[in-house]
Amino acid sequence: MTVMAGQNGDSRRLPDMKPNHTDELEKSNTWMLTEFNKPSQLRSLQLPDCLMPVRISRLTYTNSGGAILALGFNAVHKLWKWQANEGKATSSVPPQLWQPSNGVLMTNDKVEDAIPCFALSKNDSYLISASGGKSSLYNMMTFERMTTFMPPPPAATFVAFYPQDNNIVAIGIDDSSIDIYNVRFDEIKSKLKGHQKRVTGLAFSNVLNILVSSGADAQLCVWSMDEWEKQASKFLQIPPGRVSSPCAQTRVQFHQDQIHVLAVHETQIAIYKAPKLEYLKQWVPQESCGSVTDATYSCDSQSIYVSVEDGSVWVLTATTLQPRSRISPDAYFPSNLSSRIYPIVIAAHPSQPNQFALGLTNGGVYVIEPPESKGNWGVILPLENGAGPSFNLAVGLE
């Protein structure tokens, strides 16, 4: 294992950056960037797949942590379940690609050039999913399609369950609106209009009683869950020299404090503070690494896992965006002979903060964990004379 300091992790302060009180907690933990370049340096497992491998478009762990669900670009869902390890996902034991006894597949109506989306209910019993056609409600125990709704056009592009009622979902639409939809009564409770491009991300905060949405044009919006009125709007700050594509998959996720928002964009990841969307920090990969493909908080919100177009995965400290580790594709995918194969989606285990899963462009799904001897990602540098460098902003340097 090669340990390198300073690579792609130098600190820069932007003129309009605002201090974050949680940074004080991280000043005592200064991380040396750790490179993982060989399979022997970490634990990884490719999930077994007897179905046709197809580019993975969406990926999530079940809330129980015992299974992984993927949606391919062919509109077919795949569910892997762990029987061993007390039914918890692990890289040590392969899971079973599970199907009901009747052999039925959960398959969406497929439309070309669609933006696939899905969301699991909190109890893992129901799935709402769409691949450009009608939205479908599935029973996760039987894979039975219980009902369909909202036939396009326009198509659903993102879906999130309302935290207080599993019968209500927020659905981002290709026409830039958001529908607050009651599945049980098959009715739209409210239609939110404020985005200018298709909606590509949604996240609820119970603490602030708001919904945060993101659009393909890098716009973020905040909506009150009481009256469904827009409270704030802001565009991501595109880094100098970078160009944002008009159909970027901008996504949002709340920190476990349900106040800080992680915004994921092809040019960056950024942290904002809700409900006013105060800009705090930004991390940008080196241009030679390609674009950010996805990112997610770890389950304890202490780390952020970022997948990049060159096949690498970065582990950042969530409060400072300081890089802890860089995982080379050679470490988890040693047979990668094509630069076109890279992670397109990333998911964090719901109770194991150091475990995550990757969905690749070639259809492969991998579970990745640090070596048991280390227990976590990265190496903490000892402080000299009780002080160490303070990282307020981590930005990849060109």
Alpha carbon distance 362, 70 (integer Å): 13
Q: Would you place residue 85 in the very low, low, confident or very high pLDDT band (cuts 50, 70, 90)?
A: confident
Token look-up 């989306």 returns 117
Q: Would you place residue 331 in the very low, low, confident or very high pLDDT band (cuts 50, 70, 90)?
A: very high
Q: Would you place residue 339 in the very low, low, confident or very high pLDDT band (cuts 50, 70, 90)?
A: low
* Helix residue ranges, H only, the chain: 23-26, 329-332
3-state secondary structure of 85: helix
| Token digits of residue 375 | 């227990």
pLDDT score recorded for residue 18? 40
Token look-up 């939809």 returns 181
Average pLDDT over residues 142-161: 96
Average pLDDT over residues 209-218: 97
- 279 with 17: CB under 8 angstroms? yes
pLDDT value at 139 more than 90:
yes
Average pLDDT over residues 24-45: 80
pLDDT score recorded for residue 7? 32
Average pLDDT over residues 116-122: 96
pLDDT value at 19 more than 70:
no
pLDDT score recorded for residue 20? 44
pLDDT value at 61 more than 50:
yes
pLDDT value at 182 more than 70:
yes
pLDDT score recorded for residue 207? 97
Instruction: Point out the least confidently predicted range of 18-32, 60-74, 145-159, 231-245.
Output: 18-32
Domain residues of the chain, as ranges? 18-376
Provide the β-strand partners of residue 42. none
Alpha carbon distance 127, 392 (integer Å): 39
Instruction: Point out the least confidently predicted range of 33-42, 165-174, 266-275, 332-341.
Output: 332-341
Q: Would you place residue 4 in the very low, low, confident or very high pLDDT band (cuts 50, 70, 90)?
A: very low
Average pLDDT over residues 183-211: 96
Average pLDDT over residues 39-44: 94
3-state secondary structure of 37: coil
Between 9 and 142, residue with greater pLDDT: 142
Burial 123-153 (b: 16+ CB within 10 A, else e): ebebbbbbbbbbbbbbebeebebeeebbebe
- 127 with 137: CB under 8 angstroms? yes
Q: Which residue type, as a one-letter code, is found at position 395? A: V
- 93 with 81: CB under 8 angstroms? no
pLDDT value at 169 more than 90:
yes
Alpha carbon distance 316, 320 (integer Å): 8
pLDDT score recorded for residue 333? 87
Provide the β-strand partners of residue 98. 79
pLDDT score recorded for residue 376? 86
pLDDT value at 311 more than 90:
yes
pLDDT value at 391 more than 60:
no
pLDDT value at 231 more than 70:
yes
pLDDT value at 28 more than 80:
no
pLDDT value at 22 more than 70:
no
Inter-residue long-range contacts of 162-170, CB under 8 Å, 24+ positions, other chains counted: 162/204, 163/122, 163/204, 163/206, 164/206, 166/121, 166/122, 166/123, 166/126, 169/119, 169/128, 170/202, 170/204, 170/211, 170/213
18-376: CATH topology:
Methylamine Dehydrogenase; Chain H (2.130.10)
pLDDT value at 353 more than 90:
yes
pLDDT in tens, 250-271: 999 999 999 999 999 999 999 9
Of 11, 8, 31, the C-alpha closest to 378 is 31
Question: How far is residue 26 from each of residues 21, 22, 54, 381, measured CA to CA in Å?
Answer: 10, 7, 41, 12
Burial 74-108 (b: 16+ CB within 10 A, else e): bbbbbbbebeeeeebbbbeeebeeeeeeeeeebbb
pLDDT score recorded for residue 16? 37
What is the signed CA dihedral for 49, 77, 73, 110, rounded to 10 degrees?
140
pLDDT score recorded for residue 5? 29
Q: Would you place residue 336 in the very low, low, confident or very high pLDDT band (cuts 50, 70, 90)?
A: low
